[in-house]
Chains A and B, each alone.
Chain A
């Protein structure tokens, strides 16, 4: 089965959970900005969590979908419609006849995820289907989607065939699509509470006043923010003394501070190493919520211990793995 891209949207790229193991060769990790939503979308269509999904930024794509395809939308609410009918998010949707899926501007959140049963059939480069824009490799031809692109869909998990039959018999009468009466809880990513951080490696390089400002004042996400990093605007941060740092590894959520004092949060397309002092590190569990923040919105940071950060991470992992089990049961249960 093929999907024809009619309109690309602002920036739509295929991303999975990243290219792991090649940073030592200078290869970026890439991968979904909001990995929770990407994993959830894949779970909902019976795929492995690490399968690639289409990440649509701020403005979604319009795609011609073939009859028989099963998809799920998670993450940002892009106001998706088929034949003028709203398409519900956070649940599997079966397409009963060829139709046009239209996604618009993000009403809530910043990045929408579109997964299809069977996954996207694109080459696996260094263990990943993620698009590496700067090196022009991975994903669809190493680039963001453009109108006219044809995305090949892989073979769905065997359990999904029974799911389609059941759902069509029960709900798929006349409409262009059919779905289930239940949905997965995936909207916590829109919660705009504080973003929790742990101390960065050069935390002690900053003045006490700067650390107070960082933890108590709001920081706004600048317009020139992208998958590589969020530039923040707010109280400028200062070092106690001018010191040179030899470039060292960074990771998703590292908050580095260049000499101008404006922090930058490094994200999915970050470089493998950086030479600016790092004041803090966003906890893994808050990265999905961070990725859903639009430019020009403001952030508050709260410091937690490394032990607490780990507890939050384990809690979120247990949550999604439990969701995977429950959804898998739902997908295979027979509707009477």
Chain B
């Protein structure tokens, strides 16, 4: 945990325009930086300052969007005339907060289990991926399930997770010709990334399976995305029968 303290103390802060601040804990993709970013976001959500608009967690830090109009009334000591008033108020606030954050194993690594029906019509590229690595389809599935996955960021599309941790021996290049429509829930591999598509979109990923989970729920205002940055992710295999049963349940909770 001393290491985490050091990361917090060495956080770099920069303006992202005059209505946001970018807090960075480093410049590499690293599970520890991701967890620090998640911890800061959680702390800010628990203790928001007046004028806080929204937070965005990324690979290495947190962007904090705010309303300068509200912050202009706060006082600051020893102001820097080059920087804006509201930026300095927020910077000071975050510095103070970073000193107070305490990380515990329990609140930094929740595990989200995602069921996947592998192969067949659900994973049309599983055969290709197996052949590419000279493995059986079952071996690819086993390796995919064995991965230690971390959701670094949600982006690109609503609820779309950037996931790290795919076993290198099943990393597979994207398809030469992208598909025009990838079915919702598809689980794929693109290079050393894996992930699941919450919505139907075009894309070039190698599709090895599909999850019946509704990864993005329009009508859930609190948590529209099942996955969040910093979540640990676990895939497990289900049969087509289980897929249909879960999909039917999910259909009733989502839009």
A: which residues have CB within 8 A of B?
20-27, 125-127, 134-135, 137, 198-199, 201, 245-254, 271-273, 281-284, 305-307, 309-310, 313-314, 317
Contacts and interface: CB of A to CB of B under 8 A. Distances in A.
Contacts of A127: 221
Contact of A201 (B14, B18, B155): B14
Given A273-B153, A305-B82, A313-B18, A26 B158 contact: yes
B27 A307 contact: no
Contacts of B61: 248
Contact of B17 (A135, A245, A247, A281): A281
A24 B57 contact: yes
Contacts of B60: 246, 248
**Which size bracket describes the interface of B in this complex?**
35 or more
Contact of A26 (B19, B22, B69, B225): B225
Contacts of B24: 248
A137 B72 contact: no
B65 A25 contact: no
B155 A247 contact: yes
B83 A306 contact: yes
B22 A201 contact: yes
A81 B235 CA distance: 60
Interface stretch (B2-10, B48-56, B205-213): B48-56
B218 interface: yes
B158 A25 contact: yes
Interface string B81-123: 1111111000000000000000000000000000000000000
B16 A249 contact: yes
Given A126-B224, A273-B58, A25 B159 contact: yes
Given A248-B59, A249-B63, A314-B72, 20 more contacts: A23-B56, A24-B154, A24-B229, A26-B154, A26-B156, A135-B199, A198-B15, A247-B58, A249-B16, A251-B63, A253-B17, A271-B155, A281-B15, A284-B17, A284-B19, A305-B82, A309-B17, A310-B86, A313-B18, A314-B69
Contacts of B55: 24
Contacts of B254: none
30 contacts: A20-B53, A21-B54, A22-B158, A23-B54, A24-B57, A24-B154, A24-B228, A25-B154, A26-B156, A126-B218, A135-B158, A198-B15, A201-B16, A246-B27, A246-B58, A247-B59, A247-B162, A248-B60, A251-B19, A251-B20, A251-B65, A254-B16, A272-B56, A305-B82, A305-B83, A306-B18, A306-B87, A307-B83, A309-B17, A310-B72
The 8 closest A-B pairs by CB, nearest first: A310-B84, A249-B63, A25-B225, A26-B154, A309-B18, A281-B17, A306-B84, A23-B56
Contacts of B82: 305-307
Contact of B218 (A125, A198, A272): A125
Contacts of B27: 245-246
B160 interface: yes
A279 to B, nearest CB: 13
B16 A281 contact: yes
B155 to A, nearest CB: 5
